[in-house]
Structures are given as C-alpha cells and as structure tokens.
Amino acid sequence: MQYFPNIPKIEYAGKNSRRELAFKHYDPDKVVAGKPMKDHLKFAMSWWHTMTADGTDMFGVGTMDKKFGGVSDMKVSKNRVGAAFEFMEKLGIGYFCFHDKDLAPEGKDLKTFHENLDVITPMVKAEMDRTGIKCLWGTSNVFGNPRYVHGAGTSCDANIFAYAAAQIKKAIDITIEFGGDGYVFWGGREGYETLLNTDMGFEIDNLARLLTLARDYGRAQGFKGCFYIEPKPKEPTKHQYDFDASTVLAFLRKYDLMGDFKLNIEANHATLAQHTFQHELAVARVNDALGSIDANQGDPNLGWDTDQFPTNLYDTTLAMLEVLRMGGFTTGGLNFDAKCRRPSMTHEDMFLAYIAGMDSFAFGLKAADALMKDGRIDKFVSDRYSSYKKGIGKKIVDGKVGLEDLYKYALGLGEYTVGTSGRQEYLEEVLNQVMLESD
C-alpha cells in the first residue's frame, strides 16, 4: 500500500523550475567539491517530527494526520514504518534517525515497551535491507514519560536512573542492530527547574556516570560509531546542563569522555543559546568535536524551539563551509530535526518542507564550495594573521619568548598602533556576491 499516493518520486528539475514537487538545487549525483552531493550532505529523516509530530502545541491540539490509517497504537507504529520508507524513497533520503519511543508504543512498563520494539524493529530492518537506507543514529527518549519529570541520569530517584539506563541499553542494541553510525544523548530533562531544590554538582556527576556506563556498554557490544551529545540551553527545563557546545566540552573534558564523544549541533539550539549556528559548528570544529548536525532553523525573535525547516541560505552556506573545512562528515550527517509549521498540515507539506530544506542545504554546499574556490575570504584571513608566521609572532607561537622578552620588545614599538581594517562590510558583500553566483 502507498501512504502518499499523490506524491511522485521527487526529482531534480533545475533551479528555475516551477514544479512544486521537485528539487531546484539538490541533484544527488552531481559532483561538488570532489564527491556527489548526496555523499556530502548525508540527509537523514527524523522519525519523530516526520512520522509522529501532529502539530500539537501548548495552546492547541494536532492539525496533521500522522496515524497513516492506524487505529491501535501498534498498528499506527507499523504503518509508520511503511510510510517512513516510502517517504524517504520518494525524496531520495539515505538515512534516518530515531528515538526508541518513535518506533513503538511505550506501554505500561519497560517489558511491554521492549516487546513492542521487538515487533517493530525487524520491520524497520527489513525495509532498510530492501531500500538500502541506513541509520544515521539512534537515541532513547528519556524525557517524555512522567517518570523523567526530575531528570533521567540527573533524577533525584535512583530507580529512575536505572530505568533510563535500561532504555539506553536497548536503544544502543537497536542502533547496533541497524548498523547505526552514531548514538545521541539529548538531555531534555537533564537540568533544573530551580536551584532551590537542586544539588547541581551531584546531578552532573551522575550524568557523567550514565554516559560513561553507556559508552562502556556500547564499546563492549562492538559499537564502533560515535557517541554524540546534543547541546541545548533550556526548554523543557529552565536550565539544561548541556547548554551549548562549550559547556559540553567542559563536561567531556572534566569526565574524560573526549575520546568517544563528539557534538551533534542543532541550529535552533544555537539560536536559543544566543549563538549563531555557524558559531556552534566552529566551536565544535576547532575542538575536533564536530560530529553531526541537526538541520533546522529557529526564529531569532522567538524563545522556544520552533524546529523550522532550514531555508535561510546564509545559514546553510556558512554551515556547509564549516563542514567542508573539517573535511566533510565521517560518522555524521544532516538530520532534519524539523517539523512543518502547524498550519502546514497536509502530507504534501511534508514533502514541500523537506524539498525546501534539502534544496537549501544543497545550495549551501554549492555556495560554500564556491566561497572556497573564490578564495578571497580565505586569503584575507590567512594574510590577516601573517605576522605570526615570522619574527616576534613566530616566537610567540613557538613558545620562544617570555613576558619579559615581550615587555622589552613592546617598549621598542613606540607609538605603534594597528592600521589594518577588519573589512567586515566588504567581506559581507563578497559573501553575497559569491552566493548569488553559485550554480
């Protein structure tokens, strides 16, 4: 059976095409920067937003059909498997990401949940085998159930820590079963509502304990992929311990986890932390910790996670520039952690939204490649720091001078000041020009 009978296979139609259900920029096999676009971009479908999110928000119930004809919970879950793979095949998406809870109903207890999962996961695996679609990463939803109200790894109740550990074990098992390249931790309740009732130091130690246990288990089971932490500053809790990329780096270093963990950077979470998307990517990259990307966008005037489909071409261009600068993804990819706006309630909107997102990142890839080939920006940056390649600058970098040496040197500089401009406005015009020239 078809779940999207009126939607054709989505094809590349060229940037000026007026066909709505067609790609304008994403041409999967076109070679850009040395390899096919699809290998650069590694698009993934997020099972949760795509297959389960129905437009419910805090002030209103769902507007979209995500039951795909199912009535019982299990039947809905089964139909979603079919719908998901039809959806990915029609869009030519090569990966998916999932929470345990996206795949099967939780039921009343852990045993039931895992029995339900054991029904659904073989169906997913069969579809993977049939289609060649892969798992980018898996994760466990240890935030939605009321039992996680005080946290999972940071819960004040040790039984809940155990419960979370158990869910994570199973989710790692499934990820390995699916041949997933990564496993993500997003700590939706790992934070606090008020410091009045919180022992912050103890909670963070416990969070590290949970991640260490998970890492040890995964490695013992032969998992070769990457563990990721996904930073987010707040929401649902007032403060989340994985606030932003730097905060997570401080945590990973403190608990000696840098060897196994990288970051999964989400655009909208960057916005909520008052950073640009590129900033968070760059922080991760210069610390050798850029693992994977949740591709979406937020609204700079809104203070919650809107998880909109990414259509801002500045953001996609500068994001892909960071990806190219790190030499491309290894285990990671671009997961559309994005949902249709609540008023975009048709199944056609799901496709239109993914097309908009995929085209925007495909454009971003072409533009980033063009920026590197154009070379004006890179050359400007390289020239800008050239004083560190010789003389006193080189000595500083090489650790050959002390503070007193520099003191004597500086005394000799007289009324020295900087005369070179940062040329921000010019560089912004260059960026515009190269973007508009891309393909």
Binding to a copy of itself in span 243-302, by CB under 8 A: 243-244, 246-247, 249-251, 253-254, 272-276, 278-279, 282-283, 285-287, 299-302
Q: Where are the beta strands (DSSP E) in 179-219?
A: 182-185, 191-192
Q: Please report whether residue 62 would count as binding a copy of itself according to CB under 8 A.
A: yes
**Cα 376-382-385 angle, rounded to 5 deg:** 140
CB atoms within 10 A of CB 394: 13
DSSP H or E run through 48: none
409: three-class secondary structure by DSSP: helix
Out of 1, 196, 259, 327, name the contact with a copy of itself by CB under 8 A. Answer: 196
Identify which of 80, 78, 86 has the alpha carbon closest to the alpha carbon of residue 10: 86
Binding a copy of itself (rule: CB under 8 A), the pick from 303, 375, 379, 400 is 303
Indicate whether 427 belongs to the interface with a copy of itself (CB under 8 A): yes
Q: How far is the CB of 212 from a copy of itself (least distance, A)?
A: 9
What span, in angstroms and rounded, lies between the C-alpha atoms of 379 and 381?
Answer: 5
Site for a copy of itself in 140-169 (CB under 8 A): 143-150, 155-163, 165-169
Contact region for a copy of itself (CB under 8 A) — 2-10, 59-67, 122-130, 131-139?
Answer: 59-67
Could you tell me if 36 and 369 are in contact, meaning their C-beta atoms sit under 8 angstroms apart?
Answer: no
- Residue 366 and residue 27 in contact, taking contact as beta carbons nearer than 8 Å: no
Identify residues 309-328 at the interface with a copy of itself (CB under 8 A): 309, 311-314, 318
Report residue 98: phi and psi, to 5°: -150, 150
Q: Quick one: which H or E segment has residue 324?
A: helix 313-325
27 is catalytic: no
Catalytic, out of 27, 40, 100, 102: 102
In the region spanning residues 338 to 377, those forming contacts with a copy of itself, defined by CB under 8 A, are 340-346, 348-349, 352-353, 355-357, 359-360, 363, 377
Size of the site for a copy of itself (CB under 8 A): 161
150 is catalytic: no
Q: What whole-number distance in Å separates Cα of residue 331 and Cα of residue 126? A: 22
Beta-bridged to residue 54, according to DSSP, are none
Q: How far is the CB of 228 from a copy of itself (least distance, A)?
A: 17
Footprint on residues 68-87 left by a copy of itself (CB under 8 A): none
Regarding 19 and contact with a copy of itself (CB under 8 A), the answer is: no
Among 11, 74, 193, 330, binds a copy of itself (CB under 8 A): 193
Catalytic residue set: 99, 102
